[in-house]
């Protein structure tokens, strides 16, 4: 049994309490990946102190040099891609082709933000006064606390850490306790790339203890969190009282619309991938399918036929298409929603944990489809985060748009249609941060902004250059070379001008 450690101030150290917790393979709960530190506030104090100590030297390192180190991280991730993907599938459960995509997302993010070290653009504008110049620049904020989920255990930590570091912040990463090993491997990569001691720090442990200590620590100035809306609201309240910069990427109840003129073969592939890829454990997963009534019966027949044939099993076997849920608690939570759904709508397939043969050792759940779902149903309104799809039927595009928007969330949406007018109308009217046309609700690219509206977040975006609004402050600089006192913001105009 391997016992892993925290990474604080450039050193691998155990939790100060000496306590650990097991990291289990969700495809086979008899397989333990390792023991990880059950850290507490004392470990967070040590990590934040190390990050704070390293901040001044790191912020004064030229941004292009910081970017070069992230590019080096990308090179190491490329070399270790298959190793990390295999470890991810064992730890998180997603099928191997998805795990490889998760690592590749981290690599792409390294290429993107490593290059941003040579930009970090501010802007200049003319002064209203003669012989005076003005311009702006971005400056880092300080120690960033990054709290990441288990469903993308490498990609999301890179989405947060790479721009934070290129901007000149130092970081303390608190990964999900269901997937600590992937973050351990990322720290190994940072260490090999040669980042200075204390610039990156890793503290394992529970969200309530370690995450709470990180959010409430007086020396963390930025908090970036991806997870549930309920937890995100609590973080926003706690960190907001301390006037910290807060970025929240929260839940979703995403829908795919299929119009009567759509390519049904393409739409079918889209909903199967969107609903059951990553076993439905994505904030962008297709949880609702909105079908035009003219194609409802034909599409449902095709959907159920295909859904029943999806092959469940451990993700390391490349013949399998759907892996396990992350843990037994998620199996219970999904099953509770399915029980609710059986009272609200018609179950067409699935509807129970998968426990045949070797699947009984893991956390598998059958791909599940409900039809005749009303917009008011709980399974149509609440985030399930599992392989459960709710089908709703509409008579036209306006009803489809209204149905899709009738939710507290607003992350991702999709419409399948051959009518360009309907497609553009949908992109205008759908109340989501991301809209896909003739593509599923999943598949974001790291060089575009990622995030949503309503209860999906607090307005910030990850990905591309908007993420630097999270991790930088604006500094405005004026240089007056007139040699005399010039007064701005008063009336300098002569009478009559």
Write the DSSP string, 57-87.
HHHTS-HHHHHHHHHHHHHHHHHTHHHHHHH
> Structural domains in the chain?
6-250+457-477 (3.40.605.10), 254-437 (3.40.309.10)
What was the pLDDT predicted at 489? Answer: 73
Q: What is the pLDDT of residues 148-202, one digit of tens each?
A: 999 999 999 999 999 999 999 999 999 999 999 999 999 999 999 999 999 999 9
Q: Cβ neighbours of residue 49 under 8 Å, at least 6 residues apart?
A: 219
DSSP H helices in 167-283: 180-193, 212-216, 229-240, 264-276
The active-site residue out of 116, 249, 383, 462 is 249
Euclidean distance between CA atoms 451 and 401, whole angstroms: 20
Pairing of strands 346-349, 409-410: unpaired
Look at residue 496 and tell me whether its pLDDT is greater than 80: no
Strand arrangement of the beta sheet that strand 132-140 belongs to: 124-126, 132-140, 472-480
Supply 464's token pair: 């591309």
Look at residue 492 and tell me whether its pLDDT is greater than 80: no
98 classed as catalytic: no
What was the pLDDT predicted at 491? Answer: 64
Q: What is the pLDDT of residues 310-345, one digit of tens each?
A: 999 999 999 999 999 999 999 999 999 999 999 999
**Beta-ladder partners of 253:** none
In terms of Cβ atoms closer than 10 Å to its own Cβ (0-12, 13-18, 19+), residue 125 is exposed
Supply 329's token pair: 């608690």
Q: What is the pLDDT of residues 126-159, one digit of tens each?
A: 999 999 999 999 999 999 999 999 999 999 999 9
182 classed as catalytic: no
| pTM of the predicted model as reported, rounded to 2 decimal places | 0.96
Entry field: residues in the chain: 497
The active-site residue out of 283, 349, 403, 446 is 283
The Cα diameter of the chain in Å comes to: 91
- Calculate mean pLDDT across residues 275-287: 98
Q: What is the pLDDT of residues 13-42, one digit of tens each?
A: 999 999 999 999 999 999 999 999 999 999
Look at residue 495 and tell me whether its pLDDT is greater than 80: no
Supply 383's token pair: 């985030």
Residue 390, phi then psi, degrees to nearest 5 = -105, 125
């Amino acid at each position: 049994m391997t016992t892993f450690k925290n990474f604080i101030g450039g050193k691998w150290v155990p939790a100060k309490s000496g306590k650990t917790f097991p990291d289990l393979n969700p495809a086979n709960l008899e397989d333990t990946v390792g023991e990880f530190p059950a850290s507490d506030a004392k470990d967070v104090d040590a990590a934040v102190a190390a990050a704070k100590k390293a901040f001044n030297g790191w912020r004064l390192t030229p941004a292009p040099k910081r970017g070069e180190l992230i590019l080096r991280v990308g090179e190491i991730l490329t070399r270790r891609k298959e190793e990390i993907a295999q470890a991810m599938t064992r730890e998180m459960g997603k099928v191997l082709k998805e795990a490889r995509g998760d690592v590749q997302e981290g690599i792409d993010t390294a290429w993107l933000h490593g290059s941003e070290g040579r930009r970090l653009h501010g802007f200049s504008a003319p002064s209203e006064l003669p012989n005076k110049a003005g311009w702006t620049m971005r400056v880092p904020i300080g120690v960033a606390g990054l709290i990441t989920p288990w469903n993308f255990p490498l990609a999301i930590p890179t989405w947060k850490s790479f721009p934070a570091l290129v901007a000149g912040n130092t970081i303390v990463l608190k990964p999900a306790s269901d997937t600590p090993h992937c973050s351990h491997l990322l720290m190994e990569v940072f260490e090999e790339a040669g980042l200075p001691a204390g610039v990156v720090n890793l503290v394992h442990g529970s969200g309530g203890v370690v995450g709470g200590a990180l959010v409430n620590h007086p020396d963390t100035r930025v908090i970036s969190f991806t997870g549930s809306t309920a937890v995100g609201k609590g973080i926003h309240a706690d960190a907001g009282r301390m006037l910290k910069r807060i970025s929240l990427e929260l839940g979703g109840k995403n829908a795919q619309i299929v119009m009567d003129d759509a390519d049904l073969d393409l739409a079918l592939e889209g909903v199967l991938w969107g609903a059951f890829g990553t076993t439905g454990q994505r904030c962008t997963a297709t949880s609702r399918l909105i079908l035009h009534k003219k194609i409802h019966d034909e599409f449902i027949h095709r959907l159920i036929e295909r859904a029943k044939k999806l092959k469940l099993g451990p993700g390391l076997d490349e013949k399998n298409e759907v892996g396990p849920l992350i843990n037994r608690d998620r199996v219970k939570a999904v099953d509770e929603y399915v029980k609710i759904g059986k009272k609200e709508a018609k179950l067409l397939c699935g509807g129970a944990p998968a426990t045949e043969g070797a699947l009984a050792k893991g956390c598998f759940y059958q791909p599940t489809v409900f039809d005749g779902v009303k917009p008011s149903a709980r399974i149509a309104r609440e985030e399930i985060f599992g392989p459960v799809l709710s089908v709703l039927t509409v008579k036209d595009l306006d009803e489809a748009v209204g149905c899709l928007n009738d939710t507290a969330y607003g992350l991702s949406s999709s419409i399948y249609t051959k009518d360009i007018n309907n497609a553009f109308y949908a992109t205008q009217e759908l109340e989501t941060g991301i809209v896909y046309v003739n593509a599923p609700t999943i598949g974001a690219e790291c060089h575009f902004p990622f995030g949503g509206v309503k209860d999906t977040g607090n307005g910030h975006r990850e990905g591309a250059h908007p993420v630097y609004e999270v991790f930088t402050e604006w500094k405005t600089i004026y240089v007056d070379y007139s040699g005399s006192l010039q007064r701005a913001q008063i009336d300098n105009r002569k009478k009559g001008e």
